[in-house]
Amino acid sequence: MKTYIFDPISPEALAYARSYLDVVCWDSSEIVNYANAEAVIVRTFKMTPMMIDQMPNLKIIAKHGVGVDNIDIPYAKSKGIRVTNTPTANMNSVAELIIGLAFNCVRRITQSQMAVLNGLEKNSPMYLSGYELAEKTLGLIGIGKIGMSVGKKLHDAFDMKIIAYDPFATTDYCNSLGFAKTESLDELCSKGDIISVSVPLTKETRNMIASREISLMKETAVLINTSRGGIVNEDDLYKALKNHKIFGAALDVFVQEPVRKNHPLLSCDNFIATPHNGANTTDALIRMGIGAVDEIIRLKNGENPLSGL
How many binding residues for ligand NAD (CB under 6 A)? 30
Q: Does residue 155 have an active-site annotation? A: no
> Residue 185: in which H helix or E strand, if any?
helix 185-191
Q: Is the peptide bond before 49 cis (omega within 30 degrees of 0)?
A: no
**What whole-number distance in Å separates Cα of residue 13 and Cα of residue 291?**
9
Q: What percent helix, strand, coil does the chain show, rounded to 5? A: 40, 15, 45
> Which span sits near ligand NAD by CB under 6 A: 22-30, 135-143, 171-179, 288-296?
135-143
Taking CB under 6 A as the criterion, the residue among 85, 137, 226, 270 binding ligand NAD is 226
Residue 176 beta carbon to ligand NAD: minimum distance, rounded to whole angstroms? 14
- Residue 215's identity, in one-letter code, is S
Q: Which of residues 246-305 bind ligand NAD (CB under 6 A)?
A: 252-253, 276, 278-279
Nearer to ligand NAD, 110 or 226 (CB): 226
Nearest to 292 by CA among 9, 64, 88: 64
Dihedrals φ, ψ of 89, to 5°? -65, -30
Taking CB under 6 A as the criterion, the residue among 42, 51, 146, 251 binding ligand NAD is 146
Residue 146 beta carbon to ligand NAD: minimum distance, rounded to whole angstroms? 3
Instruction: Write the interaction track for ligand NAD spanning residues 65-104; mark x where CB under 6 A is met and - where it is not.
Output: -xx----------------------xx--x----------
Dihedrals φ, ψ of 118, to 5°? -80, -10
Q: What is the CA radius of gyration of the chain?
A: 22
Nearer to ligand NAD, 212 or 244 (CB): 212
> Residue 63: in which H helix or E strand, if any?
strand 60-63
Q: What positions carry a catalytic annotation? A: 228, 257, 276
**Rule CB under 6 A: which residues touch ligand NAD?**
66-67, 90-91, 94, 141-147, 165-169, 198-200, 204-205, 226-228, 252-253, 276, 278-279
